[in-house]
């Protein structure tokens, strides 16, 4: 039985939500919602008088800050460590975090792989493997060709691309405001996962339904 598991980092293990919401609220005086992101980020429409171009700049600044060292300030998604430890205890010891750090931020000099590894260790996740791709396509290839039983991501686009490359891999969508799942829709049969309890059951093939 294949017990090799893959997880996305940003939005599945690392919690981008609160720090980003806080900065957004500081800048615009209003708290964002899933609808906010769908309007601004995915549909390119204004929201609450905020223009998509303005937001894109803000979004870019935030990620540049993260990849330049601000990542160290992030906390874990609730119950992520317990969930991963539970899986190891059930015999799923081969766990890989698959992420990518965009190469378009040319001013970033940090060794992001080493930095991310240190962050994981600091959070008590020294037992998971880490794969850091340079871009989205490379990440999708690593997941598709990695021989995994399942992959959990918070971006439906990644799950769709993995499906096109490897229809056999089981895919779970961790629902996050950043995921854009409301926009891109249920184009194939990935599983919706709302929290780490559901992620653990999914990874063990014990979820209800299909």
Binding site for Mg ion (CB under 5 A): 8, 10-11, 154
Find the length of the chain. 210
Buried b (16+ CB within 10 A) or exposed e, 184-209: beeeeebbebeebebbbbbbbeebee
For Mg ion, the closer of residues 36 and 98 by Cβ is 98
**Smallest distance, Å, CB 60 to Mg ion?**
16
**Smallest distance, Å, CB 12 to Mg ion?**
6
Query: Does residue 166 contact residue 144 with C-beta atoms inside 8 Å?
Result: yes
Strands 75-76 and 14-15: antiparallel
For Mg ion, the closer of residues 75 and 93 by Cβ is 75
**Smallest distance, Å, CB 206 to Mg ion?**
24
Angstrom distance (rounded) from CA 8 to CA 75 = 15
For Mg ion, the closer of residues 18 and 93 by Cβ is 18
For Mg ion, the closer of residues 3 and 129 by Cβ is 129
**Smallest distance, Å, CB 104 to Mg ion?**
17
**Smallest distance, Å, CB 11 to Mg ion?**
4
Angstrom distance (rounded) from CA 161 to CA 165 = 6
For Mg ion, the closer of residues 94 and 154 by Cβ is 154
Angstrom distance (rounded) from CA 51 to CA 113 = 34
Three-state DSSP state, 200? helix
């Amino acid at each position: 039985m294949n017990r090799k598991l893959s997880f996305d980092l940003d939005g599945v293990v690392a919690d981008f939500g609160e720090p980003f919401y806080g900065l957004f609220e500081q800048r615009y005086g209003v708290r964002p919602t899933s609808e906010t992101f769908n309007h601004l980020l995915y549909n390119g429409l204004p929201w609450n008088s905020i223009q998509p171009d303005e937001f894109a700049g803000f979004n870019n600044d935030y990620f540049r800050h993260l990849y330049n060292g601000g990542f160290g300030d992030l906390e874990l998604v609730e119950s992520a460590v317990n969930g991963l430890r539970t899986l190891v205890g059930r015999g799923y010891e081969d766990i890989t975090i698959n992420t990518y750090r965009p190469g378009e931020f040319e001013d970033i000099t940090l060794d992001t792989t080493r930095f991310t590894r240190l962050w994981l260790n600091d959070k008590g996740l020294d037992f998971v493997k880490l794969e850091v791709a340079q871009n989205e396509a490379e990440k999708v290839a690593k997941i598709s060709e990695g021989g995994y039983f399942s992959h959990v991501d918070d971006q439906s686009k990644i799950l769709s691309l993995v499906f096109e490359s490897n229809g056999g891999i089981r895919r779970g969508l961790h629902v996050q405001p950043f995921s854009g799942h409301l926009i891109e829709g249920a184009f194939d049969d990935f599983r919706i996962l709302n929290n780490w309890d559901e992620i653990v059951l999914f990874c063990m093939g014990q979820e209800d339904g299909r």
